[in-house]
Structure 1
Amino acid sequence: MARAGLTPELLTRAGAELADEVGFEQVTVSALARRFDVKVASLYSHLKNSHDLKTRIALLALEELADRAADALAGRAGKDALTAFADVYRDYARTHPGRYTAARFRLDPETAARSAGVRHAQMTRAILRGYDLAEPDQTHAVRLLGSVFHGYVDLELAGGFSHSTPDSDASWSRILDALDATLRNWPSA
């Protein structure tokens, strides 16, 4: 029997909050049950298992990120769009580190195809239209942007730039300048 007031949506949001507090890898159905002061069995009428919970958190994070990115990109093009898009990822990771990690959780192909991850790919390609890249270079550029954004954010979250100068904000700005220059001057094959 389902516990009154608990829903999959409520549990997903609580799991996302827990991920931001303790890290995505630490989120389990047991940890969530402790948060609600209920027995683990009470949650199994709403969630299949910890993998199901993590998948739901990942889908929530992808949706939140896509919504923020769409808002940030509205009316922008070129470097302005690139910077806005990159800043969404970095800001989201700083504000919601557990959810940010969840957004990169490996989803099965069917779930991934229905997720907001598709919107992320579409928005990235929309940004690249401003740089006049054809395939396969557009795919190479998508991979470059993802690698730089996620790599930088991961290093920054791990404290990799906390004791060095210039500060990480200055480096982030210069990196975005360099990406813009690279995309405008993409090397021919």
Structure 2
Amino acid sequence: MQKHITSLKRLVFIISLLPLSWLIYALLTDQLGANPIEAVTRDTGVWALRFIMVTLLISPLRKLTGINQFIRFRRMLGLFAFFYASVHMLLYLGMDQFFDVHEIWLDIVKRPFITIGFISFVLLIPLTITSTDKMMKRLGGRRWKKLHYLIYLIVVLSCVHFYMLVKQDKTEPLIYLLITFLLLGFRLFIQHRRNQSTAL
């Protein structure tokens, strides 16, 4: 069983790298349009959001299917969300702002969608740092869970950031917002049932 899980983890790891591999290939073969850096920056941000949402889907899938092994992949998927968010942020800081601290600060202050994106990235950092078993034990299960509830705020902020970024067809960000609200609704429903059971 352990060997099977290890093989699946390797497969998930390889699959999780495919979006970046494709973007590098498309960049090198000039398939990203007139502004390839902007395309890579946007797409890495979208993939970060997708990985966050897949991470949030793990618990509902486990509860609906009864397959507890899904939980074994959540940490890896969460780390890939941070990885793609970091690439997205570094491309923005380096290729768009050339690491000019003054211009970066002005951009964060003046453009709300940049502000929201920056906040969601900063909130991801403590979740990534505390993703290990050692940090979970150090914080304690209850405090660790409370901290990691930030993921719901992060996914909402990320969806709003994406919605504000898109200038024309907003269908895709609206779909992500809908999925986010469904996930939040499912979480609230489970919490309500749990509270009722405790009261009984």
RCO greater where, 1 or 2, for CA within 8 Å and sep 6 or more? 1
* Structure with greater helix share of residues: 2
Q: Structure 1 length normalisation: TM-score?
A: 0.31
Q: TM-score, normalised by structure 2?
A: 0.30
